[in-house]
Structure 1
């Protein structure tokens, strides 16, 4: 569903991912290839982060991923070309701005071709094309995974699931607006707690552009007995930001940090205010000038998904909770502990809900 949403909202492109009778979409298949979770690829990914030398070792997956990227690049060029044509046509024929195409790519193309912009500020086609996979990836994999973990959490907490369902049924329409969804306090707390406990992206990398020194909140003692109050970073050095570790840090969130408790957001711990995240005192969407540009879109999409699903169905785990493990391949997906090679899955017992 999230792939269909970002396809239409982002690029006016139909994936037809929810239509099981549709011809398999090659871009959808390319994404599935790139995001398939497996223990072997995770090991190689970690080795490549630790040492650049491992990046020169080719694997069979590298070839498959490169083929998928070729498909993504070709379709990206088609999307850009059609978007440019549509924008040019709309500028000629439509004077009412409200009737113009407002998908993400059209807005980007229109802004990039607006009169008065210095040539040095315009994006080249290759720069625009580089954004398409980013928006497609960030716009569907993260929200899909976050919603999955939300259902995982709710399936283990029948009372929380029932309380949420009652609030959702208090809405008088089946198609609430963004403002109506954002006005539901318990839904908001459930989403905040889901994204804190089950951050879709557990960690993210950055590259230092200058030499720097990072102060520590608490001093650390190394193996030589030397005490450090900061960490020196060299230009070009890879830095990993541990999103999940910060979101679950017990000195901030308490001894129950790893437990799913939406009502903790009625009075979040004071220490969490120091977390430099762009949203909700957590690092899920990162912070600063390179924070997630689409986090508001993701939040309302996740709320809309839960609104529809929790009103219509009840969810229970079909296996014990400790049988579900997390494996990360950019995003953190569920696998079965006793059968990880089966791929990403979250067995559920789903029953239609009848309101009495």
Structure 2
């Protein structure tokens, strides 16, 4: 584990694959065995049988401290929904119903029709960021050094504020003091970025969670602020819905909503939805920090890596800009945006080579046998067509390693090459991902629920920024490393504090 922490994410695992083969085990925390496999059939089995392979309790604890007990947290915990309806549905496993109920109610909020309605928010905030950078670069003849990651994070925070909760963070307005929800979120996320021994031990030893720490106090205060504001947002959303319907019946078929919270509340208030299919106010509130983190940090990080990759390949940057400039409006529709082929290829390649979340872990809830595409030979020379799994065994899900597998993508798998998407390899169709023959958004019932939201927002950002600016690295490429906590973000190796950052030289695009 020490070697893994010290290495760039997935690099060590990829070395092991070359040395030992595609299926192996290594020692995890407290010297426990951890299974690693690149076999796509085995990974598909794990991801599609989500009730049999869940997030470990230690991972769920750490997620809950930062993200709350939202849709990313829920696995087998018995919440209010289960207690109310388990007697009605005795044949449903408790762990299944918790996840199913939240997903079923939230799925419409992330469907194509809803994302289409949010596209104007993506563009309005992208244009706001463009205008801020235009002001910064207008005064001089030379390019201006900008930490693009920080600004992209502000932009995506503003987006999830409006698109998620009809709440204005106004993070892009640097002249204004950050509001208290923005500050609370920053505290929670920065706490999650720091890796130290005590939080790791608390995740593994529940008794230690009673020991107070400065980190815990900061997170608790931030969570209290978020819960208080979240309750007010929930109350406002309910009042607005009741007012718009004049106190009449609210039918599921008539539900509409611009922000995700309002849509979720409407769905929960509909009079034609059985009581057993509702989630409580507490469960709705639990989604607030989940939406905030998952809804903006992953997208801002992915867009940061896209700009980094385009700086390394100015020819690709130029080719993409030429395509984007063929569009006659600054605010195309979602369908027009998604129809741009080279933009799509650049986004796909970014999410392949620079997956924001590079790996995850699942734990077996029962004894099982993982089916294999490719049999393996153990150290005794015995050939196996499956992997025996015992209850409690942890299984590493190698998102980035699969995305960069030479067996799937060829000898140039680690290179950034959008042209590969003109004719992707047939074997890539075996990758058990929900989108793009990639593992970036995972797969199965617990795949990323907001992947459409992220894709359209990322494309809107790149569309707006590449049409307006040219980008170059402000430091040597050799000085840029990767640091992974919740997401994989860039750092400068020359910075002893390893602050997350990506400084680029930005100048207005003047045309050919």
- Give me the TM-score of the superposition, normalised by structure 1: 0.90
Deviations 1:329-353 (A, max 9, x none): 2111111112151511101111111
For residue 226 of structure 1, report the CA deviation from its aligned partner.
Answer: 5.4
Indicate if the aligned counterparts of 1:277 and 1:286 stay in contact, CA closer than 8 A: yes
Question: Aligned residue for 1:347?
Answer: 503
1:185-200 aligned at under 5 Å gives the runs: 185-200=341-356
Question: Aligned residue for 2:43?
Answer: none
Q: Find the aligned partners of 1:76 and 1:21 in 2 and give their Cα distance.
A: 25
Residue 129 (structure 1) aligned with residue 129 (structure 2): no
Pick from 159, 165, 180 the counterpart of residue 336 of structure 2.
180
For residue 81 of structure 1, report the CA deviation from its aligned partner.
Answer: 1.4
For residue 25 of structure 1, report the CA deviation from its aligned partner.
Answer: 2.0
Work out which structure has the larger RCO, using CA pairs closer than 8 Å and 6 or more positions apart in sequence. Answer: 2
Change beyond 3 A, Cα 1:196–1:213: same
Residue 309 (structure 1) aligned with residue 461 (structure 2): no
For residue 86 of structure 1, report the CA deviation from its aligned partner.
Answer: 1.2
Question: Aligned residue for 2:423?
Answer: 267
For residue 23 of structure 1, report the CA deviation from its aligned partner.
Answer: 2.2
Deviations 1:2-25 (A, max 9, x none): 111111111101111101122212
Pick from 154, 167, 187 the counterpart of residue 13 of structure 1.
167
Indicate if the aligned counterparts of 2:256 and 2:263 stay in contact, CA closer than 8 A: no
For residue 93 of structure 1, report the CA deviation from its aligned partner.
Answer: 8.0
Q: Find the aligned partners of 2:312 and 2:426 in 1 and give their Cα distance.
A: 28
For residue 288 of structure 1, report the CA deviation from its aligned partner.
Answer: 1.1
Question: Aligned residue for 1:88?
Answer: 242
Moved more, 220-229 or 10-19: 220-229
- Residue segments in structure 1 that go unaligned for 5+ positions in a row: none
Task: Give the aligned length.
Answer: 353
Deviations 1:223-277 (A, max 9, x none): 5665544334444554432211111111111121111000000111111110010
Question: Aligned residue for 1:79?
Answer: 233
Query: What secondary structure, in the 3-state scheme, does the structure 2 residue paired with 1:245 have?
Result: helix
Question: Aligned residue for 1:36?
Answer: 190
Query: What secondary structure, in the 3-state scheme, does the structure 2 residue paired with 1:92 have?
Result: coil
- Give me the TM-score of the superposition, normalised by structure 2: 0.64
Residue 165 (structure 1) aligned with residue 317 (structure 2): no
Deviations 1:78-125 (A, max 9, x none): 221111111111111899x99964211111111111112221211111
Moved more, 108-117 or 238-247: 238-247
For residue 209 of structure 1, report the CA deviation from its aligned partner.
Answer: 3.9
Pick from 82, 88, 103 the counterpart of residue 259 of structure 2.
103
Pick from 253, 267, 276 the counterpart of residue 120 of structure 1.
276
Indicate if the aligned counterparts of 2:193 and 2:486 stay in contact, CA closer than 8 A: no
Query: What secondary structure, in the 3-state scheme, does the structure 2 residue paired with 1:102 have?
Result: coil
Change beyond 3 A, Cα 1:10–1:176: same
Pick from 284, 300, 303 the counterpart of residue 144 of structure 1.
300
Change beyond 3 A, Cα 1:219–1:350: same
For residue 38 of structure 1, report the CA deviation from its aligned partner.
Answer: 8.7
Q: Find the aligned partners of 2:166 and 2:192 in 1 and give their Cα distance.
A: 32
Question: Aligned residue for 1:23?
Answer: 177
Q: Find the aligned partners of 2:377 and 2:235 in 1 and give their Cα distance.
A: 57
Query: What secondary structure, in the 3-state scheme, does the structure 1 residue paired with 2:445 have?
Result: helix
Question: Aligned residue for 1:249?
Answer: 405
For residue 173 of structure 1, report the CA deviation from its aligned partner.
Answer: 0.6
For residue 54 of structure 1, report the CA deviation from its aligned partner.
Answer: 8.4
Change beyond 3 A, Cα 1:235–1:293: same
Question: Aligned residue for 1:56?
Answer: 208
Query: What secondary structure, in the 3-state scheme, does the structure 1 residue paired with 2:497 have?
Result: helix
Query: What secondary structure, in the 3-state scheme, does the structure 2 residue paired with 1:86 have?
Result: helix
Query: What secondary structure, in the 3-state scheme, does the structure 2 residue paired with 1:349 have?
Result: strand
Indicate if the aligned counterparts of 1:90 and 1:100 stay in contact, CA closer than 8 A: no
For residue 191 of structure 1, report the CA deviation from its aligned partner.
Answer: 0.3
Indicate if the aligned counterparts of 1:27 and 1:71 stay in contact, CA closer than 8 A: yes
Pick from 142, 154, 158 the counterpart of residue 310 of structure 2.
154
Question: Aligned residue for 2:221?
Answer: 67
Q: Find the aligned partners of 1:276 and 1:27 in 2 and give their Cα distance.
A: 37
- Residue segments in structure 2 that go unaligned for 5+ positions in a row: 1-154
Indicate if the aligned counterparts of 2:156 and 2:296 stay in contact, CA closer than 8 A: yes
Indicate if the aligned counterparts of 2:192 and 2:486 stay in contact, CA closer than 8 A: no
Q: Find the aligned partners of 2:215 and 2:345 in 1 and give their Cα distance.
A: 39
Change beyond 3 A, Cα 1:33–1:255: farther
Query: What secondary structure, in the 3-state scheme, does the structure 2 residue paired with 1:288 have?
Result: coil
Q: Find the aligned partners of 1:54 and 1:255 in 2 and give their Cα distance.
A: 45
Q: Find the aligned partners of 2:204 and 2:255 in 1 and give their Cα distance.
A: 49
Q: Find the aligned partners of 1:312 and 1:44 in 2 and give their Cα distance.
A: 46
Question: Aligned residue for 2:432?
Answer: 276
